[in-house]
Amino acid sequence: MSISTTTEPAATTPDAGPSSSRAPYRRRHPIAWMILVRTALGLITIFAVSVVIFLATKALPGNAAYAVLGQSATPERVAALEREMDLNHPMIGQYVSWVGGVLHGDFGTSLSNGQPVSTLVASRLGNSAALVVVAGVVGTLFASALGLIAAARRDSWFDHILSVIAFVVTALPEFVVAIALVIVFSVNVFHWFPAVSAIPPGDSPFSNVSMLVLPVATLTLVLFPYIFRMVRGAMIEAIESDYAEMAELKGIPRWRILLVHAFPNSLPSVIQVIGLNLLYLAGGIVVVEYVFNYPGIGALLVDAVSNRDIPTIQFIVLLLAVFYVFVNIATDLVALLASPRSRAVR
pLDDT digits (tens, 9 = 90+) for 277-299: 777 777 778 888 888 888 888 88
pLDDT at 19 (0 to 100): 46
| Cβ atoms within 10 Å of 273's Cβ, excluding its own | 21
Please state the rounded mean pLDDT for residues 20-34.
Answer: 65
Domain residue extents for the chain: 120-303
Of all residues in the chain, the percent with pLDDT exceeding 90 is 0
pLDDT at 1 (0 to 100): 43
pLDDT at 166 (0 to 100): 85
In whole angstroms, give the CA distance from residue 140 to residue 50: 31
Residue 85: name the closest of 60, 61, 58, 113 by CA. Answer: 58
pLDDT at 15 over 60: no
Find the helix or strand (DSSP H, E) in which 146 lies: helix 117-152
**DSSP structure string for 23-70:** S-HHHH-HHHHHHHHHHHHHHHHHHHHHHHHHHHHHTSSS-HHHHHHG
pLDDT at 130 (0 to 100): 85
pLDDT at 6 over 60: no
Give the three-state DSSP class for 92: helix
Which phi and psi angles does 61 have, rounded to 5°?
-65, 150
pLDDT at 239 over 80: no
Architecture of the structural domain at 120-303: Orthogonal Bundle (1.10)
Find the helix or strand (DSSP H, E) in which 298 lies: helix 297-307
pLDDT at 16 over 80: no
pLDDT at 61 (0 to 100): 57
pLDDT digits (tens, 9 = 90+) for 72-121: 566 666 666 666 666 666 678 778 877 887 888 777 777 777 778 888 88
For residues 256 and 329, which has the higher predicted lDDT (pLDDT)?
Answer: 329
Of all residues in the chain, the percent with pLDDT exceeding 70 is 79
pLDDT digits (tens, 9 = 90+) for 114-165: 778 888 888 888 888 888 888 888 888 888 888 888 888 888 888 888 888 8
pTM of the model: 0.73
In whole angstroms, give the CA distance from residue 206 to residue 186: 19
For residues 226 and 75, which has the higher predicted lDDT (pLDDT)?
Answer: 226
Q: What's the whole-number average pLDDT of the chain? A: 76
Contact status, residue 233 vs residue 262, Cβ threshold 8 Å: no
Read off the pLDDT band of 319 (50, 70, 90): confident
Amino acid letter for position 15: D
